[in-house]
Amino acid sequence: MSNYFSKVPDFEYVSRLPDANISDYINVKNLFKRVTLKQDIYQDLSFFTKYEIKGDDRPDNVAFKEYGRSNLDWVVLTSNNILNIQSEWPMPQFEFDKYLLEKYETYENLNNAHHYETVEIKNDDGVIMVQKGLKVPSDYSFTYYDGSGMVTERPVVEITNYQYEEKLNNDKRSIYLLKKRYLNIIIDDLEDIMRYKKGSSQYKTETLKTADNIRLFQ
């Protein structure tokens, strides 16, 4: 993310650090300045390619593979509207296993039922009567006519805590990547958005403005 943060402008704050005079200022990054891709880009899949995150791939690894520059990891994250890598990016196996044991404490708890789901049922004509993956009670049953009479089935499968968590983690592996030919447009837009505009009493330069009334330290 270093390339992204290098373009984030600064705030000039009155310092409240020990030994600082009341007139001393420090510059910090304005993290309230944030960008997302334009809505029309998000809605046009021709700008993107599908990508499946493998193993312990990190955003910077993916950026290097696709764009040749690891510091374009912010493009990977922004393209998928990811704000929190810890919760929105898939965990590698060793982190996933550690997370599960911390959450469920024992392997026995991991193998307990989290919920129950349906399995797919089709009639003799191939018409789907029950969709796969619907959450249902453990005693759910379904009755239908199979051409010769009424049939009752229990199309239910148990989903353990482990299976549930594994699916949540794996679902995060399918992402979209902005096609390389559109990179310069996005980078230029970022630089323009991050610039401060003249007209405010706080304006000093395109990359710096004052914020006298906000304190970083008490």
What is the DSSP track for 175-208? EEEE-GGGHHHHHHHHHHHHSPPTTSTTEEETTE
The predicted pLDDT at position 149 comes to 85
**Residue 183 and residue 85 share a domain:** yes
Asked if the model's pLDDT at residue 157 lies above 90, the reply is yes
Give the pair of three-digit tokens for residue 133: 């993956």
* Average pLDDT value over all residues in the chain: 78
Decide if 156 is inside a domain.
yes
**Residue 82 and residue 101 share a domain:** no
| Percentage above 90 pLDDT, the chain | 48
Q: pLDDT for 102-141, tens place per residue? A: 999 999 999 999 999 999 999 888 889 999 999 999 999 9
The predicted pLDDT at position 32 comes to 41
Count of structural domains within the chain? 2
> What's the CA gap between 58 and 129, in Å, rounded?
41
Give the pair of three-digit tokens for residue 3: 């390339």
Asked if the model's pLDDT at residue 15 lies above 90, the reply is no
3-class secondary structure, 12: strand
Mean pLDDT of 167-179: 95
In terms of residue numbers, what domain contains 54? 2-90+174-210
> Which residue(s) pair with 156 in the sheet?
118
The predicted pLDDT at position 8 comes to 45
Q: Are 37 and 77 in contact (CB under 8 A)?
A: no
3-class secondary structure, 23: coil
Decide if 216 is inside a domain.
no
- pTM of model > 0.95: no
Asked if the model's pLDDT at residue 164 lies above 70, the reply is yes
Q: Are 155 and 130 in contact (CB under 8 A)?
A: yes
156: left (phi over 0), alpha (psi -120 to 50) or beta: beta
Secondary structure letter of residue 139 according to DSSP: T
Q: pLDDT for 45-98, tens place per residue? A: 688 899 999 999 999 999 999 999 998 898 898 889 888 999 999 999 999 999
